[in-house]
Amino acid sequence: MATEPSAPAATTTTAATTAEVTRLPAFSPDLYQRAWASIPHPTLPLIATCHHHSVTVFSLSTLSKHSVLTGGHTRSVRSAAWQPPRGKVASGNGKEAKRLRLVTGSFDTTAGVWTWDQGRREERLEREVRLLQNNSEGDKGGEEEEEDEWELTLVLEGHENEVKSVNYSPSGQYLATCSRDKSVWIWEDVGNPNPSSEEQEEEEEDEDEWETVAVLQEHDGDVKAVTWCPDVPGRKSKYAPPRRYGDDVLASASYDNTVRLWREDGDGEWVCVAVLEGHEGTVWGVAWEGKPRENDKFPRLLSWGADEVVRVWSLREPEEEEEGHAEGAAGGNNSWGFGVPNTMRRSLKEEWECTAVLPKVHKGDIYSVAWSTETGLLASVGSDGVLALYQETTSTIAPEKKTEEEDEEMTNGDAPTTNATAAATAPGSWKVLTTVKSAHGPYEINHITWCKRYDAGSERKGEEEMLVTTGDDGVVRPWQVRIQ
C-alpha cells in the first residue's frame, strides 16, 4: 500500500497514517432479509434502515430497535431521508425528539412522508392506562404496538416506476425523488413555507403539503440516486461571477453512466447545469464533500458505480470556464474534452472536471461510498463484500497545469495502478488506508455511512465517528475507526 513517496509539494496534514477498522456488534435484531440502506438522523442518535416493505429505526445509544415504519408501502422501501432539523439546530433536543419526520422511497412508485409524534403517543398511553384502570381485566395485547408510533401522513405520487432514492435539501425546503422512469422530481414543502424562520419553531402544526416544482427528464436511463449539496462553507461561495442561480445544487446518478447537476435559475426553473461523463457503467451514487478544503471554490463531488471506479469531481475555476466557452465556440476544446459534444458544452453553465480517481480496490459493483465530514476519509463497499478506507494524500492548491495527467486519468479510468502512481504527486490523490474483506461474510454490502457514536463503548459520545454498513444478510453493522 504505502508505496507512494510523499508528495514533494507541501502537504498539510499527511503523515504516515495508519487506520484500524474494528467490527462492533451488529444492531439488534438482525433483519434476516436484504437491507438496502441505513440513514443516520442529522442530529439525533437514530439510524433508519430500509428493508423489505418497511423501515426499522435503530437507536445509536442502545444499538437496538427504536421503532418500525410499516404498512405504508406495498413493495420494497429502497431509500429514506430524515427531515433536516428546523430553525436553529441547537434549539433543544427535547422538542425535536418528540417529532420526527422521515421520507421513504419505494419500488411501489411512491414516496411516503412519515411522522413520529411522541406527544400523541403519550396521550394514547395515558388513555390506555385509564382504560386499564377502569377495566382491570382489559387485555394488554395492544400495548406493544410500536408500529403505531409512526404515521404515514402523506404519499407523494407521480413517478411511473420504482422510486430509487429520496433526499432533502439542506434547509428542508425541497425534496428530490428519482425513479426508473428516468426522471427526477423536485418537491417543495409548502405546508411549512419558511422552514428556516425561527418564529415557526414553536408551531408544531406544520402541515404536510408538498408541491411539485420540477420534473427533470434529461437522463437516458433509471436515475439511481439524488443528493443535495450540503450547506457547507463554500457552497454559496466567494466563487464568482455573480450567480444567477439559487444556492441549492442537486446531483443525480444514472444507469445512463452519467451524473447530472441541477440548479434553480432566477425564474424558478430547474435546469441541468452540468453533465459529468467518464463512468463506463451504471453510476450507483453520488456524495458531496461535507468539509471542503479551504482553497476550493466549491465542495467537490464523488461518484461511483458498476465500473468499479470512484471518481472525484471539482468545479473549474470561473476564469477558465469563460476561456472554455470561448474555445468551445471555436471548436478547439480538446484539453478539457471528456466526451461532451461541443454543441452541448456551449449550453452548459458549469464546467466540472474529474480531478482524481481512487485506487482500485473493488472487484464488482461499488454500491456505496461515504465521505466523512470530520476527517475527510472515504469509505466504500460493494458486491465483493470488501470495506475499504481511503485518505487524501495531499491537500494543496491545484497548480495550474496538471491537465495532461488528469486527462490521462480520465481516459484510463480502468487502469488503476498507473493512475495511482501518476497521480501520486498530483493534488487530490488518494491512498488506501486499509481494507476489510468479507465484512458481511459472503454477502454483498449495499450501503455504508459515517455517523456519530452514542453507545456505551464510545469514549467521546456524540463526537467520535464510526462507520455503519448494511448488507444483503440483513445485518446492520457498526465499525470502529481508529486513526493514528
Partner 1 sequence: MAKSDLDNANPTVLSVSQLPSRNLAKGHERRGPDSKYDHILFPKQWWAGSSLNNDPSVWTSDEDEDDDLTLATEEPIDEQEIYGKNYAPSGCTCMARRNLLSTISDPEHPVTLGQIAVVRLDDIHLSPSPAERLDPNTLTNVEVDLTPTVNHCSLATVIGLAVRVRLENALPPNYRIIVRMKDGSHAQDDQVNKQLGDKERVAAALENDTLKGIIEKMLETCV
Asked if residue 43 binds partner 1 (CB under 8 A), the reply is: no
Q: Which residues pair with 106 in a beta bridge?
A: 77
Contact residue for partner 1 among 438, 457, 462, 463 (CB under 8 A): 438
Amino acid identity for residue 22 in this structure: T
Length of the chain: 484
Contact residue for partner 1 among 26, 186, 214, 273 (CB under 8 A): 26
Closest CA to 164 of 5, 42, 285, 49: 285
Q: Of the ranges 14-22, 140-148, 264-272, 456-464, which one interacts with partner 1 (CB under 8 A)?
A: 14-22
Contact residue for partner 1 among 222, 248, 308, 406 (CB under 8 A): 222
Contact track, partner 1, 69-108, x by CB under 8 A: ------xx-x----------------------------x-
Contact residue for partner 1 among 117, 162, 264, 307 (CB under 8 A): 162
Note whether 53 and 70 are within 8 A (CB). Answer: yes
Q: Of the ranges 96-104, 337-345, 378-386, 389-397, which one interacts with partner 1 (CB under 8 A)?
A: 378-386
Asked if residue 29 binds partner 1 (CB under 8 A), the reply is: no
DSSP category for residue 143? G
- Locate 135 and state its grid cell: 377495566
DSSP category for residue 315? E
**Torsion angles phi and psi, residue 95, rounded to 5:** -65, -45
Asked if residue 5 binds partner 1 (CB under 8 A), the reply is: no
- Locate 194 and state its grid cell: 419558511
Note whether 413 and 311 are within 8 A (CB). Answer: yes
Q: What is the CA radius of gyration of the chain?
A: 23
Q: Of the ranges 2-10, 243-251, 334-342, 474-482, which one interacts with partner 1 (CB under 8 A)?
A: 474-482
Residue list 334-363, contact with partner 1 (CB under 8 A)? none
Q: Of the ranges 18-26, 266-274, 336-344, 398-406, which one interacts with partner 1 (CB under 8 A)?
A: 18-26
Q: Of the ranges 84-92, 237-245, 285-293, 437-445, which one interacts with partner 1 (CB under 8 A)?
A: 437-445
Burial class (CB in 10 A: 0-12, 13-18, 19+), 229: buried
Contact track, partner 1, 383-422, x by CB under 8 A: xxx-------------------------------------
Q: Of the ranges 169-177, 342-350, 392-400, 471-479, which one interacts with partner 1 (CB under 8 A)?
A: 471-479
Asked if residue 304 binds partner 1 (CB under 8 A), the reply is: no
Give the C-alpha distances (Å, rounded to integers) separating 276 from 2, 246, 256, 329. 31, 20, 11, 20
Nearest approach, Cβ of residue 162 and partner 1 (Å):
5
Q: What is the DSSP string of 4-25?
A: SPPPSS--SS-S---EEEEE-P
Give the Cα separation of 370 and 71 in Å (integer): 30
Query: Residue 144, SS3?
Result: helix
Query: Residue 115, SS3?
Result: strand
Nearest approach, Cβ of residue 34 and partner 1 (Å):
4
Give the Cα separation of 79 and 55 in Å (integer): 9
Where does this chain bind partner 1 (CB under 8 A)? 20-26, 30, 32-35, 75-76, 78, 107, 161-162, 164, 180, 222, 224, 255, 281-282, 306, 364-365, 383-385, 434-439, 441-444, 472-475, 477
